Structure 1
């Protein structure tokens, strides 16, 4: 997961997952336009292992996150170079400026694009229910075989409302070590490279609010949901 190389950014002229559009419309008599992406809805699953009293998350490299971090690092480096050039440049300052320019072209480590997430997947199989799709994702990504009937629907919500407006439906699944039939890791044929991660119940809220740990909003929300609705059942504090 940590070996990312031969990076190249190219135009995306065709995609099975994203389709860009521009909407032209009138709102209260004012002409407006808005660019958006059409994409698939998705499902996510908060998995709780009742044997070890831990949450089961996935950890993976996300190119979009990586590129955001690269752009941020490049901007900071460029600003630093400009400030150096504004002053009277000595030979050493000129050398530092050149070094800054070299640094701006370097890629950050792969870890800059790695995030912790709920097990999740696209709703791209019209013949399957949301529960069946979620069940498949739990099996493929985390290695637990859970009947679709055992999945509890938490809620659904719109994600990326400014860009995609897609809907994600979140489920809750209780598993035990007996349900574990494989190591998980995703589907290699689909290019997935996923690491299964376990977060102990008593550390969950600390994990959720630690800004140093890159994670999705789904992780934070689902941990809070569990704390409010399920933690009394296990009589274990999830407080920070």
Structure 2
């Protein structure tokens, strides 16, 4: 909403004396699009963080991943003060055989989710493009992947290729 107000899509202060006279402005979904990681709120007692992550990957991305394949990367704070929250980041590799649904989140909860694939060769352009709205977690995840997973992928290519 702050970005919409900054761009003049909605007034910065929408308070009126008579709320019934205020017209509702329908904004295009693109006005609020931000690139984010698959995520969920930890609000299910009895479920581990890995089990919640598994459910979110299925709900938002359409992949039914085995919980034992989820690799914890780290936990971190997203902010400070009253708005800060703790996040735990996981990594899991997916393949077509794990794709069981369309994903997209739950529309009744206001979720508008589209899975986006960024080619490996374009990761830096994506991360450092300030015109692409993204969370800091997205940038961290790309950098972690580049430092932790890409070397392994490159090494395995060398094992099967005679050109290394």
Give the structure-1-normalised TM-score. 0.54
- Structure 1 unaligned spans of 5+: 1-66, 79-105
Q: Highest Rg: 1 or 2? A: 1
More strand by share: 1
**Structure 1 position 201, deviation (Å):** 1.3
For residues 172-223 of structure 1, what are the alpha-carbon distances to aligned partners after superposition, in whole Å with 9 as ceiling and x for unaligned?
0111111111111112343322111111111112111111111111110010
For residues 19-58 of structure 1, what are the alpha-carbon distances to aligned partners after superposition, in whole Å with 9 as ceiling and x for unaligned?
xxxxxxxxxxxxxxxxxxxxxxxxxxxxxxxxxxxxxxxx
How do 1:67-216 and structure 2 match up within 5 A? 67-74=1-8, 109-216=28-135
Q: Aligned partners of 1:152 and 1:227: how far apart in 2?
A: 16
For residues 73-114 of structure 1, what are the alpha-carbon distances to aligned partners after superposition, in whole Å with 9 as ceiling and x for unaligned?
34xx99xxxxxxxxxxxxxxxxxxxxxxxxxxx887542311
Q: Aligned partners of 1:203 and 1:70: how far apart in 2?
A: 28
How do 1:24-63 and structure 2 match up within 5 A? none
Contact 2:64-2:98 within 8 A present in 1 as well: yes
Structure 1 residues 130 and 70 mapped into 2: Cα distance closer, same or farther (>3 Å)? Answer: same
Instruction: Give the alignment's Cα RMSD to 1 decimal.
Output: 2.2
Q: Aligned partners of 1:109 and 1:234: how far apart in 2?
A: 39
- What secondary structure is seen at the aligned counterpart in 1 of 2:126? helix
More helix by share: 2
Structure 1 residues 205 and 158 mapped into 2: Cα distance closer, same or farther (>3 Å)? Answer: same
For residues 147-194 of structure 1, what are the alpha-carbon distances to aligned partners after superposition, in whole Å with 9 as ceiling and x for unaligned?
111000000011121332310000001111111111111123433221
How do 1:14-29 and structure 2 match up within 5 A? none
Which of 1 and 2 has higher RCO (CA within 8 Å, sep 6+)? 1
